[in-house]
Amino acid sequence: MATTNTAADLRDKRGNNLREIEVPIDGGIMLVPYVEANKITPEAIAADKKEVTLPEAYTSDCYVGLIKSDGAPQDSRDGGDTVTYYQQGYTSMGSATLTTTFTVVENNRLTRRVTLGEPDEHGVYHVTDIVQPDKWCAYQEEVYKDGRILRRAGVVQITGNEPSQSTPGEDKGAALTATWVPDDMYDHAAYIESIYYPPTTGTTPSAPGVGE
């Protein structure tokens, strides 16, 4: 019978735990319209849930699609200016901006919408920029080799778009930067996040997907 252990339970005598090493094997990013109905609650992605049930807007059409292996999601932080005071030992941290950059290879309906906007009635885009000011409700999953799943939800804006150079015989792509926006929908958090730990067994468990 499977048993659930904490990370501390699996440490060796030196305090090391191979199960805490993150080896990504799969993942995905979904973007849906910024409306209250598309908020994902902490209960929906609770750390003890093997399966998640998201609002109905989160369908397969809402994935950004395939992401390059050498352009997989990369988190970063811009901390802004730190204020140092006259009295020694006192500083004030600047406001942090959290971003995730990823390189999409699909030029699909969703990626065109978030970069070019809406087409006209003829399906033609009247382009003035390759990023748009819209906010989106986002859900991100990253699956690890041992069956753990990192889940993240929040509000984003696509603030960067760096198309790759066209090279004969190679996949094109565009490096998109999603800025996590502190929003009332998530109590001004940049995002909420959890990690699901599968029960400890003698074999590596399979990783569930959304709604499985």
Q: What pLDDT score was predicted for residue 182?
A: 97
Residue 68 CB neighbour total at 10 angstroms:
15
**Segment among 15-29, 85-99, 108-122, 173-187 with least mean pLDDT:** 85-99
Is 70 exceeded by the pLDDT of residue 1?
Answer: no
* 83 confidence band (pLDDT: 50, 70, 90): confident
Beta strands 191-196; 91-92: pairing state: unpaired
Token pair for 25: 């094997």
Q: What pLDDT score was predicted for residue 209?
A: 52
Q: Is 169 left (phi over 0), alpha (psi -120 to 50) or beta?
A: left
Percent of the chain with pLDDT over 70: 90
Question: If we measure between CA atoms, which residue out of 47, 140, 57, 46 comes closest to residue 100?
Answer: 140
Partners of 30 in the beta sheet? 63, 139
Instruction: Identify the burial level of 91 via C-beta atoms within 10 angstroms of its C-beta, where 0-12 means exposed, 13-18 middle and 19 or more buried.
Output: exposed
Angle at 152 between CA 34 and CA 79, to 5 degrees: 90
174 vs 90 pLDDT, higher one: 174
Is 80 exceeded by the pLDDT of residue 206?
Answer: no
Listed by start position, the domains of the chain span 23-80+94-196
- pLDDT, one tens digit per residue, over 110-141 is 999 999 999 999 999 999 999 999 999 999 99
